[in-house]
């Protein structure tokens, strides 16, 4: 995901990550926009990644209409948040915070920092956080 750095994780902040439906921001794979993601992939993963990129910069398996992955059950490992956390060598207790930050940056990058998508994502995170503190 764009802007993912394990060093940006703030261990003080409790966050509970959840993928937001009707988003798909992380399925934009244009290599010039995803330097951080590409840096942590091995040679074989980079080949798989590059094979996914369409001319328009989106993944060829991304359905822009429904904003869904067409091969969700068979998507590559690096598309899974759990794998990303491992690739970026994030500690288990910081995994949620890391995933929340990655998604936030990617959603802002794709839809804008004042988009309805980022507002919806922040609302989901707030609700999760409130539920955790009950």
Binding site for ligand SF4 (CB under 6 A): 19-20, 23-27, 29, 52, 59, 61-62, 69, 71, 75, 79, 103, 106-107
Which strand (E) or helix (H) includes residue 68? Answer: strand 68-69
Nearer to ligand SF4 among residue 90 and residue 103 (C-beta): 103
- Cα 113 from Cα 104, distance rounded (Å): 9
Q: What is the rounded distance in angstroms from the CA atom of residue 119 to the CA atom of residue 14?
A: 19
Cα–Cα distance, 17 to 19 (Å, whole number): 7
Helix 116-133 × helix 95-111 angle, to 10°: 160
Residue closer to ligand SF4 by CB (options 41, 107) is 107
The candidate with the shortest Cα–Cα distance to 97, out of 3, 6, 35, 19, is: 6
CB 47 → ligand SF4: shortest distance, Å? 14
Please tell me the distance from the alpha carbon of residue 104 to that of residue 70, in angstroms, as a whole number.
23
The least CB distance from residue 103 to ligand SF4, in Å, is 3
Please say which residue, 20 or 38, places its beta carbon nearer to ligand SF4: 20
Residue among 12 and 22 whose Cβ is closer to ligand SF4:
22
CB of 114 to ligand SF4, least distance (A): 17
Minimum CB separation of residue 98 from ligand SF4 in Å reads 12
């Amino acid at each position: 995901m764009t802007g993912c750095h394990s060093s940006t994780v703030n261990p003080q902040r409790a966050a509970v990550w959840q993928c937001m439906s009707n988003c798909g921001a992380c399925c934009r794979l244009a290599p010039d926009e995803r330097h951080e993601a590409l840096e942590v992939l091995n040679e074989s993963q980079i080949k798989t990644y590059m094979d996914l990129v369409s001319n328009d910069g989106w993944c060829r398996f991304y359905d822009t209409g429904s904003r869904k992955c067409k091969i969700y059950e068979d998507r590559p490992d690096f598309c899974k948040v759990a794998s990303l956390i491992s690739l970026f060598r994030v500690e288990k207790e910081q995994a949620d915070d890391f995933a929340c930050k990655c998604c936030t940056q990617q959603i802002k990058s794709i839809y804008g920092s004042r988009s309805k998508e980022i507002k919806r994502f922040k609302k989901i995170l707030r609700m999760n956080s409130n539920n955790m503190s009950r």
